[in-house]
């Protein structure tokens, strides 16, 4: 790595890249080529910053797997030229995107850091400047001419998290994200405090590879008291269904009514993987702990363990896209690939 790392700033859209028109009060995207004019403090960082913007910046509510492929392709095409990547992204679906990229970018040996803001960059009280400056600073960290961070992360409000461990928990506060089942990788205070024990250990010998096949014909069903047989049978009869994620109660509990167990069993018999993740913000699925979930274990439901819903969905899309054989699917899913589960 050179004395001054080369960082590529990738703008996809979102609040962080907006400025206010003070005459009309409306928000609009600013030209990222003028980034240094908006944040002159970036000139003080010990790195070289280049920018790349989506041709048409998008609201993160419109994020989808095609955009993830676009994003992964930008990183793939620039991987050799840059020492780190910072992705500016709307906060609403940032955890989904960070989770997806963590699986798509295989044998990653450089930092890929997602960040954004709750207020536009041109707002007087914006959180955008701190999030952006510190993300770039963390992406520039190196030790023995090697990047300190070698995984897909998410930085927000003084904390760097593993991206596939995060969930957006607040739509108003600056502290918008949490990682309840895994500690922060870096905490920003007077200094940057790196939790080296928490960092993902990578194999430098393996070649970087980008996986671009994702299967989006999957279903996410959040269980609630009162969900009935007619609704479940209707949802599960979707002819293109390739995978199912169930958001269950507590440590993976579901109704053990016979009609429900039979509906799940039919899917599994068709070779459709069924993943069990908890609705709780923190904690883990533990199938077999209660009578209401031991049947699920017996019929082959896959445990999402302590993975977030976002990570479970992304991993399912990735594994289905990679055509993982049905007889190995459960074993591979229940094994951590990118540090997404304990």
Set out the domains of the chain in order of their start, with CATH numbers: 6-210 (3.40.50.1170), 218-333 (3.40.50.40)
Average pLDDT over residues 108-123: 88
pLDDT top residue among 298 and 37: 298
Q: Is the pLDDT of residue 122 over 90?
A: no
How far is CA 87 from each of CA 135, 142, 217, 309, rounded to the nearest angstrom? 9, 19, 26, 22
pLDDT at 24: 75
In angstroms, rounded to a whole number, what is the distance separating the alpha carbons of residues 236 and 269? 13
d(CA 161, CA 185): 5
- Reported residue count of the chain is 342
Mean pLDDT of 114-140: 87
In this predicted structure, what is the pLDDT of residue 196?
96
The model carries a pTM of 0.94
Which two structure tokens, joined as six digits, stand for 59? 């609201």
Give mean pLDDT, residues 286-311. Answer: 88
Q: Under a CB-based contact definition with an 8 Å cutoff, are residues 208 and 152 in contact?
A: no
Q: Which residue has the higher pLDDT, 235 or 35?
A: 235
**Assign residue 329 a region: left if phi > 0, alpha if psi is -120 to 50, beta otherwise?**
alpha
Residue, of 298 and 118, whose pLDDT is higher:
298
Most confident option among 107-111, 126-130, 169-173, 199-203: 107-111
Of 15, 126, 166, 248, the catalytic one is 15
Question: For residue 244, what are the β-bridge partners?
Answer: 219, 274
Question: Tokens 């509510």 — which residue?
Answer: 61
* Mean of pLDDT over the chain: 91
Question: Three-state SS for 88?
Answer: strand
How many C-beta atoms surround the C-beta of residue 41 within 10 A?
12
Cα separation of 82 and 79, whole Å? 6
pLDDT band at 125 (very low <50, low <70, confident <90, very high): confident
Distance (Å, rounded) from C-alpha 186 to C-alpha 329?
A: 33
- Does the pLDDT of residue 121 top 90, yes or no? no
Q: What is the three-class DSSP state of 232?
A: helix
48-92: per-residue pLDDT in tens? 999 998 888 888 899 999 999 999 999 999 999 999 999 999 999
pLDDT above 60 (res 2): no
- The end-to-end CA distance of the chain, in Å, is 32
Task: State residue 34's pLDDT score.
Answer: 65
Instruction: Report the percent of the chain where pLDDT is more than 70.
Output: 93
- More confident site: 145 or 37: 145
Task: Output the pLDDT for position 215.
Answer: 98
Regarding beta strands 218-222 and 209-210, do their DSSP bridges make them parallel or antiparallel, or are they unpaired? unpaired
Quick: pLDDT tens for 203-253: 778 999 999 999 999 999 999 999 999 999 999 999 999 999 999 999 999
Partners of 188 in the β-ladder: 192
For residue 124, is pLDDT > 90? no
Q: Which DSSP category does 215 fall into?
A: -
Of the pLDDT bands very low, low, confident and very high (cuts 50, 70, 90), residue 123 is confident
Location of structure tokens 């190196």: 142
Widest Cα–Cα separation across the chain: 65
27 has pLDDT over 80 = no
**What integer pLDDT is reported at residue 267 of this predicted model?**
97
For the segment 316-340, what is each residue's pLDDT rounded down to a tens digit?
999 999 999 999 999 999 999 999 9
Closest residue by Cα to residue 198 from 149, 155, 158, 154 = 149
Top-confidence range, 24-28, 32-36, 116-120, 264-268: 264-268
Structure-block tokens of residue 249? 């109660």
Whether 73 is catalytic is no
Model confidence over 137-186: pLDDT tens digits? 999 999 988 999 999 999 999 999 999 999 999 887 777 899 999 999 99
Task: List the 48-53 sheet strands across, edge first.
Answer: 48-53, 6-11, 84-88, 112-115, 152-156, 159-162, 186-188, 192-194
């Amino acid at each position: 790595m050179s004395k001054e790392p080369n960082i590529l700033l990738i703008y996809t859209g979102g609040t962080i890249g907006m400025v206010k028109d003070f005459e009309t009060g409306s928000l609009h995207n600013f030209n990222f080529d003028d980034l240094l004019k908006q944040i002159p403090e970036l000139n003080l960082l010990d790195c070289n910053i280049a920018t790349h913007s989506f041709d048409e910046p998008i609201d993160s509510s419109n994020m989808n797997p095609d955009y993830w492929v676009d994003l992964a392709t930008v990183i793939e095409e620039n991987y050799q030229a840059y020492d780190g990547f910072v992705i500016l992204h709307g906060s609403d679906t940032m955890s989904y995107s960070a989770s997806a990229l963590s699986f798509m970018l295989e044998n990653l040996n450089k930092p890929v850091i997602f960040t954004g803001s709750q207020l536009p960059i041109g707002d007087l009280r914006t959180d955008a400047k701190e999030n952006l400056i510190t993300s770039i600073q963390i992406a520039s960290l190196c030790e023995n001419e090697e990047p300190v961070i070698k995984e897909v992360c998410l930085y927000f409000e003084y904390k760097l998290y593993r991206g596939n461990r995060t969930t957006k928990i607040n739509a108003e506060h600056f502290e918008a994200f949490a990682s309840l089942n895994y500690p922060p990788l870096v905490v920003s205070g007077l200094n940057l405090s790196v939790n080296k024990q928490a960092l993902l250990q990578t194999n430098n010998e393996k070649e970087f590879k980008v996986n671009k096949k994702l299967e989006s014909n999957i279903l996410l069903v959040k269980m609630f008291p009162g969900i009935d047989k007619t609704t479940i049978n209707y949802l599960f009869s979707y002819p293109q269904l390739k995978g199912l994620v169930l958001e269950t109660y507590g440590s993976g509990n579901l109704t053990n009514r016979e009609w429900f167990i039979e509906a799940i069993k039919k899917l599994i018999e068709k070779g459709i993987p069924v993943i069990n993740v908890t609705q709780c913000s923190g904690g883990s699925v533990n199938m077999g702990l209660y009578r209401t979930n031991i049947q699920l274990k017996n019929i082959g439901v896959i445990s999402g363990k302590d993975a977030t819903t976002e990570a479970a969905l992304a991993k399912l899309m990735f594994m289905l896209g990679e055509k993982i054989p049905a007889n190995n699917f459960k074993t591979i899913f229940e094994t951590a690939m990118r540090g997404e589960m304990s």
